[in-house]
Structures are given as C-alpha cells and as structure tokens.
Amino acid sequence: MLKVLDLFSGIGGFSLGLERTGGFETVAFCEIEEFPRKVLAKHWPEVPCFEDVRTLKGSDIGTVDVSCGGYPCQPFSTAGKRRGKEDDRHLWPEFSRLVDELRPAWVIGENVAGHISMGLDDVLSDLEGQGYACRTFVIPACAVGAPHRRDRVWTVAHADCTFTQGGSMSS
C-alpha cells in the first residue's frame, strides 16, 4: 500500500479515488475549512486532519509515498483577478515545501486551465529542482462523463533519483 498525504483535501476526492484502486492508504489530510473537515472525519475517522498547510510540517506526517492536492485555483483562474503570486491564496509554495520536506516518490497536483499561462512553469521548475520528473495533462470534465468541458490541469511527478538522509540527491 502506498501512503498518501492529501493536501487541500476538500471532502476527500483524491483519497476516495486513490483508495478505491486498492493500492493506496491515506495517512493524513490537510483542509482549512470546517465543513469539509467534518466530512473527512466521518469517512476517515482514524486519519488525522491538519487544518493549515502553512503550519503543517513534514515531521508532523512521517513517511509518505504520494503527496496530492488541488491547491487553490483563485490566483490563476480566468474567473478571478489572476493575481498569481500576489494573491494570499497562492499556496503552491507550501505544497512545494512539504514535498521538499517529505520527499514522496509521487506528487499529484490539480488546478484550473488558467494555470497553464500563469504559475505552472513555477510548479514544474520547483518540482524538477527537487529531483522530480514531471508531466502535465489537460483533462476536461466531459472526458469523465460531465456535461461540460471545464478543463483541468493535472501535474504528475515522480522522483527520478534517490534521496539520501538530509535531502541530498544521488542518481
């Protein structure tokens, strides 16, 4: 079983999908909103749920194989002001920090199509700088049966080298 840290968890969509494959076990959630935390507690009563990604430390979690999450889209969305790094909801740096601290083998991120023209290069650069090989995919909601297009950007990254204790890399 691969151990999963589910960030920006909402009501647990990532974990639900991953766990239904039979190969994943969620070991921690992080969700700031109260109502989704209640839903997570109902469906995963034994799994800890941290409230704020900005105060979460890798040492709070332990070893994970996968870090996943749909980090806030408001900084990049064409429906908003597109303030990018200037938006206080720009939380990709916190996701990246936790990836750097935890060194999971896999990273899965999801965001809006507007991220392609704003911020996605930073995400890929951060992950590649930490030793991950990355691929991005645009998958519309209609590809999974929804009645509308609604493109989503998925980033999947895999550690393409091994990490030694202390975070240094070797091939």
For tokens 């870090």, the residue is 67
Active-site option among 30, 49, 68, 73: 73
Contacts of 112 (CB under 8 A, 6+ apart): 73, 76, 77, 78, 151, 152, 153
Instruction: Note if 134 is an active site residue.
Output: no
Phi-psi region of 32 (alpha: psi -120 to 50; beta: other; left: phi over 0): alpha
Strands 106-112 and 2-7, sheet pairing = unpaired
Q: How big is the chain by its Cα radius of gyration, in Å?
A: 16
Q: Indicate which residues carry an active-site annotation.
A: 73
